[in-house]
Amino acid sequence: MKVLIADNHTLFREGFRSQLSRFDNVEMREVGDYDAVKALAEQNRDFDLIFIDRDLLGTEWKDKLKALKEMFPDAKKVLLSESEEQRDILNAFELGVVGYITKLSSDSLIINALRLIMDGNLYVPPAVLKGIHRRASGEGRILSHTLPDGKNLTYRQSEVLQYLSNGLSNKQIAYEMKVSEATVKLHINALLRHLHVENRTKAVVTAQRLGILEA
């Protein structure tokens, strides 16, 4: 796997490279500024995964993140940032990143995030999924049942979405709702269709971004 680390903090870059070296068959390239990233794109350098620091992108980080998608259309992107603001995180996922790693995270959390990302999964930081491992209380979590297309989530779909936001498994949700796991899967599949996403993590992130679910 060809990986690009783009970060203007040398010490962080070295530490991050050390963490990535734990994985097999990883070929790494490092740069310290955005111009160097653009130069690699002009050289038609191919990367499978790009870790890029938000500070390196500057105040126009959203526009540059979009440009990065055009420069390296086949590469998955992960944003590195000191910001734990939920709005920043949700905006990054809206722009197509597969992960958002906060630099304030512990080493163990960063390693776990890298494992998920290197295995081809999304990584959403706890700042967004802050209710994880808690039972949903049902109070103040669902903000709206109305979808962008004007349709409404059913009560059961909203209930399942609420439990998903709190990190419950299908088995746990079935227990809480006193239904079968097969019924839970049907509700989850309906949610994914309504929200136009392909997995439960994206369902939670998208619902928060749309104001359906409390962030």
With pLDDT > 90 as the criterion, what percentage of the chain qualifies?
A: 34
What are 213's strand-pairing partners?
142
For residues 147 and 164, what is the distance between their CA atoms, to the nearest angstrom?
17
- Asked if 2-118 and 131-215 have one fold, the answer is no
Q: Where are the domains of the chain?
A: 2-118, 131-215
Contact by Cβ (8 Å): 36, 63: no
What band does 138 get if pLDDT is binned at 50, 70 and 90? very low
Which class would CATH give 131-215? mainly alpha
For residues 207 and 213, what is the distance between their CA atoms, to the nearest angstrom?
5
What band does 158 get if pLDDT is binned at 50, 70 and 90? confident
CATH number of 2-118: 3.40.50.2300
What are 30's strand-pairing partners?
5
pLDDT tens digits, 82-97: 887 777 888 888 888 9
